[in-house]
Amino acid sequence: MPKRGKKYLKSRKQINAEIRYHYTEAVKISLDSSYAKFDETVDVAVRLGVDPRHADQMIRGTVVLPNGLGKEVKVLVFAKGEKEKEALDAGADFVGNDDLIERIKGGWLGFDKAVSTPDMMGSVGKMGKILGPRGLMPNAKTGTVTFDIARAVNDLKSGKIDFRVEKAGIIHVPMGKVSFGADKIIQNLTAFLETILRLKPASSKGTYIKSIAISTSMGPGIKIDTASIKELIT
């Protein structure tokens, strides 16, 4: 087990590991226990009652967090002609086609998200080994392969996140920054959980949301009482 610092241990003492807290209390404790000198990210982990080995239980989706993520998202767009102008007008940071593809092949990856028009995917798809492992490959399922470039860019700039359940049935997502305060974190959490519930597969039996934990980048995890989240989504 890694050795923990004094600040972490002090923060950990504020939390009873045996208790599942009401979501309002869990968020408050998480923010209050933040001790880093930088504005920590608030993360949420949800364990679902699904088996990702079955295709019909592979949970994957996107959600636009109402309060964003609290950081600048650099968006790159692969497009041609009028769609290049549309991307620039929407606020994309990098726009181009073959020139950007060659730049990326040369090792440049100075962006956070990528969007592509469908007619560019023949060329963009060839960079799968570069973009895929880094989560940067445009994908129609997440709305990043589209001719509606303006909407895609605006969504990403506004705090759109994509998520996918891991082999253990867990989804990890950021909910914003400590500086947001409890209300904004709860609003983001509500939007995310509503999306998770909409994606519940018909083949999932038993308890769907098994457990939820919230933490800051450097802080300990705090268990949330799953019964309390019904107040968020009713």
Distances (CA, A) of 191 to 42, 45, 69, 72, 119: 15, 15, 13, 20, 32
Q: Evaluate whether residue 227 is within a structural domain.
A: yes
Domain that holds residue 88: 75-157
Shared domain for 222 and 122, answered yes or no, is no
Residue 1 pLDDT greater than 70, yes or no:
no
Antiparallel, parallel or unpaired: β 170-177 and 209-216? unpaired
- Domain ends where: 102, 131, 157? 157
175, 26 Cβ separation under 8 angstroms: no
Flag whether pLDDT at 187 surpasses 60.
yes
Token readout for 37 is 């000198």
Please check whether residue 60 lies inside any domain of the structure. yes
Last residue of a domain, which of 157, 188, 209? Answer: 157
Establish if 8 belongs to a structural domain: no
Looking at the structure, tell me whether residues 152 and 167 fall in a common domain. Answer: no
pLDDT tens for residues 110-142?
A: 999 999 999 999 999 999 999 999 989 999 988
Q: Please tell me what DSSP assigns to residue 165.
A: -
Q: Are residues 82 and 151 both part of a single domain? A: yes
Distance CA 113, CA 171 (A): 19
Task: Enter the DSSP assignment of 30.
Answer: H
Q: What is the pTM of this model?
A: 0.83
pLDDT at 232: 83
Among 114, 129, 157, give the residue marking a domain's end. Answer: 157
DSSP string, 143-207: T-BSS-HHHHHHHHHHTEEEEE--TTSEEEEEEEEGGG-HHHHHHHHHHHHHHHHHT--TT--S-
Helix crossing, 23-32 with 182-198: angle to 10°? 130
The string of pLDDT tens digits covering residues 31-88 is 988 888 899 999 999 999 999 999 999 999 999 999 999 989 999 999 999 999 999 9
**Number of folded domains that form the chain:** 2
